[in-house]
Amino acid sequence: MAISKKAGKKNALKSGGTTKVAKADWKEGFKKKQVGVSDMTLLTTIDENSINDNLKKRWTDGEIYTYIGGVLISVNPFKDLGIYTDETLQKYKGKNRLEVPPHVFSIAESAYYNMNAYHENQCVIISGESGAGKTEAAKRIMQYIAAVSGGEDSSIQEIKEMVLATNPLLESFGCAKTLRNNNSSRHGKYLEIMFNTHGEPIGAQITNYLLEKGRVVGQLENERNFHIFYQFTKAASDEQREEFGLQGPDAYNYTSRSKCLEVQGIDDSNDYADTLNAMRIIGLSNQEQNEIFRLIAVILWLGNVEFQEMDDGNSAIFDTGITDFIAHLIEADSAMVQKVLTSRVVETQRGGRRGSVYDVPLNPAQANAGRDALAKAIYNNLFEWIVARINVSMKARSASAQVIGILDIFGFEIFEDNSFEQLCINYVNEKLQQIFIELTLKTEQEEYVREQIKWNPIKYFNNKIVCDLIEERKPPGIFAALNDACATAHADPAAADNSFVQRTAMLSSNAHFEARGSQFLVRHYAGDVMYNIAGMTDKNKDALVKDLFDLVGSSGNQFLQTLFSDRPDPSSKKRPPTAGDRIKASAGALVDNLMKAQPSYIRTIKPNQNRSSKEYDTKAILHQIKYLGLQENIRVRRAGFAYRNTFEKMVERFYLLSPSTSYAGEYTWQGDAKSGCEKILKDTGIAKDEWQMGVTKAFIKNPETLFALETMRDRYWHNMAARIQRAWRNYWRYKNECARRIQKFWKNNKEALEYAKVRDYGHQVLAGRKERRRYSLLSYRRFLGDYLDVNGQNIVGSDLRSACGLGAEQATFSSKVQILVSKFGRSSKLSPRFLIVTARAVYIAVTSEKNGQIQTSLERKIPLVTIKSISMSNLRDDWLVLNCNASEEGDPILHCYFKTELTANLLTLTQASINVLIGPSIEYAKKKDKKAQIQFVRDETITKDDVYKSHVVHVPSGEPPSSTSRPAAKRKPGIVRPITQGKLLRAGGPSDGKTSRPKPAAQPLPGKPTQFAAVRPTPVVPKSAPTPPTNIPVPPPPPHKEPEAELYKAKFAFEGQEGEISLKKDDTVELIEKDDNGWWLVRKDGQEGWAPNNYLELIPPKPKAAPAARSPPPRPPPPPSAPLAAIAAPIPASASKPAVSTMSVKSLTADASNKPVAVFPGLAPSNGSAAPWKKPAAVSTNGSSSSTPTSSRPSSSLGAKPPPPVAPKPKPVPPPVASKPSGGKLSPKPPIPMAPRPGAGAAPPKIHKPSAPAGQMDLAAALAKRAQKIAGE
């Protein structure tokens, strides 16, 4: 298993390891078990009974949705299952249908996703018989699309609200309770939602199909009129009741004749409130709403107009008060209303009196028919106006990119009395079934043949013969025969019906038609239907008489005239279109729209006729399974291919999945689209039997394969984003690691730099007038100041502070010194003292014994203002005198190893007001007004320090007065520790020759125009003339020098643990690294690990023959860029000639076990260890390094820790093993902090010296302490 790019080496498995298996989730035991199969293409037996059994199992268990491939089968549960909540909706967002259980939300998600992904129009065709749940499915699809389509713009949100508001509004005006369904759609509706390029809805349009306007004037028993009539009569406001004379629904014939005023589960009052709210959302004004309800009242009152038969057989209005109120509502003349309802104006067309006009009275039957025709016309036109008004409000706000259409249309109907309305409804369903056959069965097989795809053909029933029976003109179909009958016998409906009966005899040649006298039978795909001819021709004409149009034209109500704005021209000789013509044209337009989109199918099934949630009518469902063609659909899905697309589309969609066709998101394939598509399918690892290449398209057998491709494509972008994020995080880790190294370097060395500045200031104070001690010029000599830690917390410093009474004063310098004390009658002698300097005075403290106790007391306090000068000799001694004003005590004569630092400190505190006197002798005031001198003599016999005797100091020769601090020692070149916190650099650096594959040139996508970025022309560089060969002979390369690795032999057996290496006696190992804690890193048989050094014994190297003498090769030219190791160890400028190296420059590989070294030049000792004033971190007994460094100062507050223990000398028996390296890993210890090289600039007179960092030790301080100890002894 490869090392994880995210987790690094920590998660890497050892070679030969197995892939980690995900642990089983215990929650899976509580998940609901699947009942049946969710996709019926997986059924073992494909017949109608097995399909029915599967649907029954799932419906009984509350699973109403089942798939057949991409087709959703829905069985109406007749109860609320709670499966349309927002929580459920979110589960289907962004998921393909195989990731979640079958649901109508999944169909909506698929249509929305495909629209955005493939930029193609989509449509959802919902079919099934009345009461199967088509309207509910359409509402849920709109709910889902509105929820997931996004868009924060107010206009987009407004469109969403309008789309959802169309449901309650059109349900009120277009749905009614029937024997089979309490909310049956009595019209067809095709809702097209328009989207922009971002997948946000920007508009919508509704197309209305064949409103069942006959329901306005009559219904079967236990059915109802349209919902709006009951909502309005039950919940209208008092103002409306007063204005329109409104009463309850039982007061009107059109609503009470069927004897069904209440419906279980329907609250008309609440629905009326929803209707008003929908009108408000759509944008209907109060005036428009008032006019709508005015016409609803007109229709209701028209139904109450009754006619009585007069003695002459003519009709008369029974209650003229009703007609007077109707005339008031439509703002027309009352007498004209009564005349239009009881008589008809007839104009003769033939004979001698051609053009004569007569008023023909109507009998009661004719008067009722005229009244009903007016009511139906008003409602039909009102419904179409509402649909048109909705379309105006939902007009697209911007350019439309794609469309999702939702078809909710009446289902197949078979009643006891089937007439013209059922013929039209069943005809539309035949057309929809034809689309289903064309798109899922016939076209599928034809395409396989055309594309030369191998598959097993399936027999199916093509219902085109039934559609031709109804709609064809030549030979004439049923609609054509109806039109001919209406044209030849237009005056008498009965005569027209008889003419149609005669014409049906010509249709008997069609096997799906039978003429049976006054009836005829059509064998539809859904079953055989017997139609009654009586009244068909009159319904097909669907025309108002001229008198009714005149009544509308005379009305003062402008809204009513708007509804009838397209009144036919009476002078036109062109036959107006019949109802059959209109439904045929509408169905053709619908088919054209659906064929332009990619369809999704929902086939709804009604489990019983009683709307029961527990009754499952097997016989009825088997019939629906048959006419829906589910069995053939399953067979086609099993035998065919679930997905196909052109090569260009496939490449455009999935070229990212193959490294051969893409690079960094660019299309790079240079071959044709077919070969590129085949390359993609091969590189993605899809089995060959899962896809086939046709002539122009690629075919994928199972939808799971397509979903896998889509998942890989989605994952590609996620992976690219993750790679960018990972690179960015690595860059920041790299950057932070660099910053941490810089900060660490600065923290470790900033104080040393400050001390170095003070030291350089000391050199300026001496000004080349005094010889220097060798130890004073060490490169690591630092002026730390408070050597006694008076400012700290240790006991010695606290006692001195208390004895001197410093209080809150801070010591700027403290050290042990010796003062020259005069003895009466004897030679003066040096006596130890403590010297403390503050910003105000110099304190000299002495330790004495009193009563057996050691006490420290203040011996003398010298204010800084009294010090006039400091006297020193010009030799390398450590003597100086503080020349004070005339004092009874005289001037103190001090012997101090840190004399230069003390002088620099006093000058800094006094703003350089003290003179520094340097000469061959020192003059001092022994007492007030008594001067004395101390002579300094050069004496080479003195081996150490200096010797005082009788006012003469014998001093050996020192360094020249012009000497300055030595430069930092050249550090030892070592293995550069690379930055491993980030992945900005490869392991081993960029020079290891590992480069990524070259970026291929971008290519235009198949079928797309070439769109390359402007390429900057590459300038032509002339080739330089070849260099002439020189006569200088090139020396042969030096012989290969094998690395000399130290080999050790194991003296004892050792059983290693994690991070250690096991040894047997006499095993030979190769030494890699020595560590001071007693553990060495060794290699045996290619395996590295830690072993105790006292278990190992060096194997003497074998002698090698001396190589022959060779002439030195000529000096090679300088390399273009120096390696990091060479930069880290520059050659001093003072070197006489450069060293010649025979090693080839190689890139360094990062290794966690390598010992870290400094990467800054000139700032580390030559042996690669820490700086001398830096103590290494102490190693605890458990092997872990302490992260707290120790202080080098005497009695430091951090406490000095002992140095690491030295491993004991091995004995004949196996010796004890030293403590293990930290953590048991190969890394021996934390990185050692590196010391920087101090700058050489002069410090300003006033220096703000920070506190000394922990972990530093001054070598000069250690030497001075040792000298004082020797002198004290």
In this prediction, residue 395 has a pLDDT band, given cuts at 50, 70 and 90, of: very high
Tokens of 127: 């079919």
pLDDT at 1155 exceeding the cut of 90: no
Q: What is the pLDDT of residue 1135?
A: 39
> Of 66, 96, 121, 130, which residue is the catalytic one?
130
Sheet with 813-823: list strands edge to edge.
853-863, 841-850, 826-837, 813-823, 893-895, 879-884, 867-873, 915-919
Distance, in Å, from the CA atom of 423 to the CA atom of 587, rounded to the nearest integer, reads 13
> Of 184, 380, 540, 749, which residue is the catalytic one?
184
Lowest mean pLDDT among 9-18, 214-223, 1059-1068: 9-18
In this prediction, residue 780 has a pLDDT band, given cuts at 50, 70 and 90, of: confident
Q: 493 preceded by cis ω (within 30°)?
A: no
> Of 411, 785, 890, 958, which residue is the catalytic one?
411
Sheet with 947-949: list strands edge to edge.
921-927, 930-938, 952-955, 947-949
pLDDT at 75 exceeding the cut of 90: yes
> Of 41, 52, 135, 167, which residue is the catalytic one?
135
**15 catalytic residue (yes or no):** no
Q: Contact at 8 Å (CB) between 1107 and 1039?
A: yes
pLDDT digits (tens, 9 = 90+) for 346-376: 766 555 555 567 788 889 988 998 899 899 9
Mean pLDDT of all residues in 375-390: 94
Q: Is 682 left (phi over 0), alpha (psi -120 to 50) or beta?
A: alpha
Amino acid making up residue 872:
M
Tokens of 73: 């089968």
Angle separating helix axes 364-393 and 334-342, nearest 10 degrees: 120
Distance, in Å, from the CA atom of 655 to the CA atom of 649, rounded to the nearest integer, reads 10
Mean pLDDT of all residues in 9-32: 41
CB within 8 Å of 718: residues ≥ 6 apart = none
pLDDT at 468 exceeding the cut of 70: yes
Give the residues across from 408 on adjacent strands. Answer: 126, 189
Q: Contact at 8 Å (CB) between 550 and 343?
A: no
Q: What is the pLDDT of residue 1152?
A: 39
Count Cβ neighbours within 10 Å for each residue of 960-980 and write b for 16 or more, e otherwise. ebebebeebbbbeebbbbbbb
pLDDT at 600 exceeding the cut of 80: yes
Amino acid making up residue 116:
N
Other CB atoms within 10 Å distance of the CB of residue 392: 9
Q: Contact at 8 Å (CB) between 470 and 426?
A: no
pLDDT at 1125 exceeding the cut of 60: no
> Of 212, 223, 413, 430, which residue is the catalytic one?
413
Beta strands in 1110-1231 (DSSP E): none
> Of 172, 182, 185, 1192, which residue is the catalytic one?
185
Shortest CA distance to 685 belongs to which of 721, 646, 662, 712? 712
Give the residues across from 847 on adjacent strands. Answer: 856
Q: What is the pLDDT of residue 1230?
A: 40
pLDDT digits (tens, 9 = 90+) for 266-311: 999 999 999 999 999 999 999 999 999 999 999 999 999 999 988 8
pLDDT digits (tens, 9 = 90+) for 638-674: 777 767 788 888 888 888 888 888 887 888 888 888 9
In this prediction, residue 718 has a pLDDT band, given cuts at 50, 70 and 90, of: confident
**Residue scoring higher pLDDT (968 or 606):** 606
Q: Could you tell me the end-to-end alpha-carbon distance of the chain, in angstroms, rounded to an integer?
A: 69
Distance, in Å, from the CA atom of 1244 to the CA atom of 61, rounded to the nearest integer, reads 91
**135 catalytic residue (yes or no):** yes
Place of tokens 């955005």: 116
What percent of the chain is predicted at pLDDT more than 90?
30
Q: What is the pLDDT of residue 26?
A: 39
Q: What is the pLDDT of residue 1028?
A: 46
- The answer to whether the Cα torsion of 285, 290, 293, 299 is positive or negative is negative
Other CB atoms within 10 Å distance of the CB of residue 531: 20
Tokens of 160: 């969403």
pLDDT at 870 exceeding the cut of 80: yes
Lowest mean pLDDT among 293-307, 710-724, 1096-1110: 1096-1110
Q: What is the pLDDT of residue 1195?
A: 38
Place of tokens 């000096």: 1115
pLDDT digits (tens, 9 = 90+) for 825-852: 677 888 999 999 999 999 999 998 888 8
**413 catalytic residue (yes or no):** yes
**185 catalytic residue (yes or no):** yes
pLDDT at 226 exceeding the cut of 50: yes
In this prediction, residue 1267 has a pLDDT band, given cuts at 50, 70 and 90, of: low
In this prediction, residue 734 has a pLDDT band, given cuts at 50, 70 and 90, of: confident
Q: What is the pLDDT of residue 1038?
A: 52
CB within 8 Å of 964: residues ≥ 6 apart = 760, 763, 777
In this prediction, residue 996 has a pLDDT band, given cuts at 50, 70 and 90, of: low
Q: What is the pLDDT of residue 456?
A: 74
**131 catalytic residue (yes or no):** yes
Distance, in Å, from the CA atom of 838 to the CA atom of 1263, rounded to the nearest integer, reads 25
* Backbone angles phi and psi of 516, in degrees to 5: -130, 65
Count Cβ neighbours within 10 Å for each residue of 1197-1232 and write b for 16 or more, e otherwise. ebebbeebeebeebeeeebeebbbbbeeebbbbeeb
Q: Contact at 8 Å (CB) between 338 and 320?
A: yes
- Choose from 230-239, 593-602, 956-965 the range with maximum mean pLDDT: 230-239
| Cα–Cα distances in angstroms (integers) from residue 208 to residues 565, 713, 1031, in the given order | 18, 40, 99
Q: What is the pLDDT of residue 977?
A: 63
pLDDT at 572 exceeding the cut of 50: yes
Helices (H), 394-533: 420-437, 443-450, 464-471, 478-488, 493-504
User: DSSP states of 907-931 as a string?
Assistant: HHHTTT-SEEEEESEEEEEEETTEE
Distance, in Å, from the CA atom of 1264 to the CA atom of 816, rounded to the nearest integer, reads 9
Helices (H), 79-203: 86-91, 104-118, 134-148, 154-174
Q: What is the pLDDT of residue 568?
A: 66
Q: What is the pLDDT of residue 1086?
A: 81
Q: What is the pLDDT of residue 192?
A: 93
In this prediction, residue 57 has a pLDDT band, given cuts at 50, 70 and 90, of: very high
Q: What is the pLDDT of residue 985?
A: 42
User: DSSP states of 1165-1185 as a string?
Assistant: -TTSS--TTBPPPPBPTTSPB
Distance, in Å, from the CA atom of 207 to the CA atom of 594, rounded to the nearest integer, reads 13
CB within 8 Å of 1236: residues ≥ 6 apart = 745, 748, 749, 752, 753, 1160, 1163
* Residue 1272, SS3 per DSSP: helix
- Choose from 53-67, 950-964, 1075-1089, 1198-1212 the range with maximum mean pLDDT: 53-67
Count Cβ neighbours within 10 Å for each residue of 922-940 and write b for 16 or more, e otherwise. bebbeeeeeebebebeeee
**Residue scoring higher pLDDT (391 or 1141):** 391
pTM of the predicted protein model: 0.55
| Cα–Cα distances in angstroms (integers) from residue 1131 to residues 971, 1134, 1137, 1139, in the given order | 10, 8, 10, 9
> Of 181, 900, 1094, 1192, which residue is the catalytic one?
181
Tokens of 62: 């509350």
Q: Contact at 8 Å (CB) between 648 and 1007?
A: yes
Lowest mean pLDDT among 15-24, 765-774, 861-870, 1048-1057: 15-24
Q: What is the pLDDT of residue 404?
A: 95
| Cα–Cα distances in angstroms (integers) from residue 348 to residues 280, 341, 360, in the given order | 50, 21, 12
- Choose from 296-305, 1082-1091, 1126-1135, 1229-1238 the range with maximum mean pLDDT: 296-305
pLDDT at 262 exceeding the cut of 50: yes
Q: What is the pLDDT of residue 1169?
A: 39
Compute CA 709 distance to the chain's CA centroid, rounded to the nearest angstrom.
19
**Residue scoring higher pLDDT (511 or 1139):** 511
In this prediction, residue 1032 has a pLDDT band, given cuts at 50, 70 and 90, of: very low
C-alpha radius of gyration, the chain, whole number: 53
Mean pLDDT of all residues in 1124-1132: 36
What percent of the chain is predicted at pLDDT more than 70?
76
Q: What is the pLDDT of residue 1105?
A: 53
Tokens of 183: 């909310």
| Cα–Cα distances in angstroms (integers) from residue 92 to residues 98, 161, 1035, 1168, in the given order | 11, 21, 77, 64
Mean pLDDT of all residues in 180-194: 88
Q: Contact at 8 Å (CB) between 753 and 1236?
A: yes
Angle separating helix axes 227-235 and 286-303, nearest 10 degrees: 100
pLDDT at 990 exceeding the cut of 70: no
Length of the chain: 1273
Distance, in Å, from the CA atom of 901 to the CA atom of 587, rounded to the nearest integer, reads 107
> Of 69, 70, 128, 131, which residue is the catalytic one?
131
* Residue 617, SS3 per DSSP: coil
**315 catalytic residue (yes or no):** no
pLDDT at 492 exceeding the cut of 60: yes
**885 catalytic residue (yes or no):** no
Q: What is the pLDDT of residue 497?
A: 86
Q: What is the pLDDT of residue 976?
A: 56
Q: What is the pLDDT of residue 1272?
A: 57
pLDDT at 1243 exceeding the cut of 50: no
**11 catalytic residue (yes or no):** no
